[in-house]
Structure 1
Amino acid sequence: MRLAELTALLHLASPALPIGAFSYSQGLEAAVEAQWIGDTGTACEWIENGLLHVLARGELPFIAHQFARWQRHDAPALMQADREFLASREAAELRRETEQMGWSLKQLACSLEWGDAARRATLERLTPLSQPTAFAFAAAIHEVPVDAALAAYAFAWAENQVAAAIKAVPLGQLAGQRILVAARAVIDRAVARALDTPPERINTFSPMLGVLCARHETQYSRLFRS
């Protein structure tokens, strides 16, 4: 990988990227409320299961196929796949989250004039837009390897989950870093599984996650938006 590609991935995976990821927990806060997560071990288990059984079967292979569609600039396929992904969100909060982050990343990409005008025009026409499709656009136009793009997305997700766990459980900073170190090998497995998943086998079937996210909408005390 060239240094320019690595720098682009570091930018896209940075928690400082202004798309609002820090304000979401994706069900983790509800899991803490339900006492499924209460210490480092259960937080680590939650995050590793999320990587292997949620992202690796859903968002990561979806990004890989959207990445290829952006490379070909297959606008009809991009739009149809994005509509299907948005329809797969199990709870209102998850739908609003991906749409808000997708919109924010789109505004950033267009303002910075990433990619060619034709692809940016397609990106602008995607309304609403999911975050994975916007991320696939950003990764594809920076010409990064697809496996590295998936690893960056997965690590950013895990890092955000750790940040949420540090606040919500709560955990110490060192415990959070231990979880991230343990997640490295899990991310490798998740990326390999995602790259081996054809479009027709992508699924987001995680019923208890959906239940927790739906419960979060009416949770008495909340730090996060999902």
Structure 2
Amino acid sequence: MSPAFPVGSFAYSHGLEQAVAADEVTTSAALADWLGDVLTLGAGRADAILLASALRGEDATALAATARALAASRERWDETIAQGRAFAEAASATGTPVDALPFPVAVGVAARTLGLPAEQVIGVYLHAFASNLVSAAVRFVPLGQAEGQRVLAGLHPAITAVAADAAGQGVEDIASFVPRGDLAAMRHETMDVRIFRT
């Protein structure tokens, strides 16, 4: 989940760019609230459960179909598919063959052989997800680097809690309710000027 692993996460804001442009996220406090909701009530939690299910060895094809169905917009669909494909290519090149699957499913399949606790794998995935969005906000809000790191540090309890909770859940437990984030992702598709792909 290193930023150096070539999955292209830096190109995605998960709708955050639109939320910033609409003056919904203009401070570190607003960013922390927005990201906290995405992590605990939205795509972060859903991805964590999909990853946990893949780690347990559940059918990757079925999980991939669920992941695609959960994408709240075309760009979110593109985000999970493109990052999953890039992850699979990079993992396969390093000796861990993985099919091109939506990102959380591909990570779960690749991590099966590591023998790590599910909470740890999920936590690292969620930390990378949150880190990427904080990095986007540092560039676009803008926030200073130190302020961005404070936001990320403040999200660690939520990341830990979601990872622990998701480790024991299955796809039937997935629920998402982050209308502000989903609407931002949909509206991002029609922005005239965009830096990020989502």
- TM-score of the aligned structures, taking structure 1 as reference length: 0.82
Q: Distance in 1 between matches of 2:170 and 2:89?
A: 30
Moved more, 214-223 or 161-170: 214-223
Counterparts of 1:158-177 in structure 2, within 5 Å, are 158-177=130-149
The residue that corresponds to 2:15 in the other structure is: 27
The one of 90, 96, 101 aligned to 2:83: 101
Tell whether 2:166 aligns with 1:184. Answer: no
Q: How many residues align?
A: 198
The residue that corresponds to 1:133 in the other structure is: 105
Instruction: Give me the CA root mean square deviation.
Output: 1.5
Moved more, 197-206 or 152-161: 197-206
Contact residue 165 and residue 171 of structure 1 kept, 8 A: yes
Q: Where do 5+ consecutive residues of structure 2 fail to align?
A: none
1:158 to partner: Cα distance: 0.8
The residue that corresponds to 1:43 in the other structure is: 31
Q: Distance in 1 between matches of 2:91 and 2:27?
A: 38
Counterparts of 1:1-226 in structure 2, within 5 Å, are 13-55=1-43, 57-69=45-57, 77-114=59-96, 120=97, 123-124=98-99, 129-226=101-198
Q: Distance in 1 between matches of 2:30 and 2:84?
A: 30
The 3-state SS of whatever aligns with 1:17 is coil
**Residues 42-72 of structure 1: CA distance to partner in whole angstroms, max 9, x if unpaired?**
0111111221111453110111011111xxx
The 3-state SS of whatever aligns with 1:90 is coil
Structure showing greater Rg: 1
- TM-score of the aligned structures, taking structure 2 as reference length: 0.93
Q: Distance in 1 between matches of 2:178 and 2:104?
A: 18
Q: Distance in 2 between matches of 1:198 and 1:107?
A: 27
Contact residue 55 and residue 154 of structure 1 kept, 8 A: no
The 3-state SS of whatever aligns with 1:224 is coil
**Residues 141-168 of structure 1: CA distance to partner in whole angstroms, max 9, x if unpaired?**
2222111001000100110011000011
